Amino acid sequence: MACALPIITTDAGGTRELLNNEQFVVPIRNTLALYLKMKYMCSLTKKQIDEIGTRNLNRSKLFNIDSIASKWLNIYNGKDKL
């Protein structure tokens, strides 16, 4: 995501929430669904791939160390809630 690329992921370990785009989440151990999603990804235009990549890059910035540290510091200082 931080490399501004499209991501296909399995629905495990919080990746659905991290990606925040159900379109590219496939069930665990479902090789057919993964294959079909990869086939679909290959059919996208460069413009579509770039748009997905840009959204992924912007989303990844929510999880960088400075952003996370700032959120936890605000919680610790009583300025924010969990």
pLDDT of 82 higher than 90: no
Confidence at residue 38, expressed as pLDDT on a 0 to 100 scale: 97
Domain boundaries, the chain: 9-76
- Buried-exposed string 49-68: b where 16+ CB fall within 10 A, e elsewhere: eeebbebbeebbeeeeeeee
pLDDT of 21 higher than 90: no
Confidence at residue 12, expressed as pLDDT on a 0 to 100 scale: 95
pLDDT of 5 higher than 90: yes
Q: For the segment 31-75, what is each residue's pLDDT rounded down to a tens digit?
A: 999 999 999 999 999 999 999 999 999 999 999 999 999 999 999
- List the structure tokens of 11: 């629905």
- CB atoms closer than 10 angstroms to residue 19: 20
